[in-house]
Amino acid sequence: MQNDATNNSEEDPAPSKTRRKQQMHALQDIGEQLVQLDLKRLNELGLPETLADAILEAKRMRKHGAIRRQKQLIGKLMRGIDAAPIRQKLDQWNGLASQHTAWLHLLERWRERLLTDEEACGELAQSYPAADVQRLRALARSAHKEKLANKPPKSFRALFQELQRIIPASTGESERKIDNE
């Protein structure tokens, strides 16, 4: 009797129907993310030909029902491959995109502060010694004048480009400094 109990506990039971459905939906979600990628990134993944063809076909479709069925097919094809490397690469790309977005938001906040706050140039120069304070002030004044005169935002854009040059893309501390103010 005891022998039967130990044998049953050693065997891995098959996943429940609910768990299998969750896994299928997770693979289908990855497939949907793959459909959203551009061709360059799809090629970087090195997907099997049948899966790549199904993804390209889904990109060409316009009818909702057809797209839904094609995504189900992509999910089914995903079951035959190891999805972990694909998921890892997608997570990596999403992380890079969110870091880049955070950096752009940081630049936007600094530009707004430079346009509205006189002391912002000094604070920026303290945080980023490479900053050309005179140029920043001149661009901020010009941007303000352009706005008042209803002219194209040439200096407004130049100020943003100058901030891109000054503030490195991988900043974490500076983002927190500006958020706290």
| Distance separating alpha carbons of residues 115 and 121, to the nearest angstrom | 10
Query: Do residues 63 and 76 touch, judged by C-beta distance below 8 A?
Result: no
Given a contact cutoff of 8 angstroms between Cβ atoms, the answer to whether 175 and 102 are in contact is yes
pLDDT at 12: 61
Residue 177: predicted pLDDT: 45
Question: Buried b / exposed e across 64-81, counting CB within 10 Å, b at 16+?
Answer: eeebeebbebbbebbeee
Q: What is the CATH number of domain 97-180?
A: 1.10.60.30
> Can you give the pLDDT at residue 142?
92
Of the candidates 34, 24, 22, 13, which has an alpha carbon nearest to the alpha carbon of residue 80? 24
pLDDT for 110? 92
> Residue 78 has what pLDDT?
86
Q: What is the pLDDT of residue 92?
A: 80
Residue 167: which region, alpha, beta or left (left: phi > 0; alpha: psi -120 to 50)? beta
Q: What is the rounded distance in angstroms from the CA atom of residue 172 to the CA atom of residue 87?
A: 26
Q: Which residues of the chain have pLDDT under 70?
A: 1-12, 170-181
What pLDDT is attached to residue 79? 87
Torsion of Cα atoms, 94 then 98 then 101 then 105, to 10°: 170
Domains 15-81 and 97-180 share a fold: yes
- For the chain, give every domain's residue range: 15-81, 97-180
Q: What is the pLDDT of residue 178?
A: 47
Structure confidence at residue 60 (pLDDT): 92
The correct answer on CATH 3.10.50 for the domain covering 15-81 is no
Q: Are 124 and 116 in contact (CB under 8 A)?
A: no
The answer to whether 133 and 125 have CB atoms below 8 angstroms apart is yes
Check if the beta carbon of residue 115 is closer than 8 Å to that of residue 144.
yes
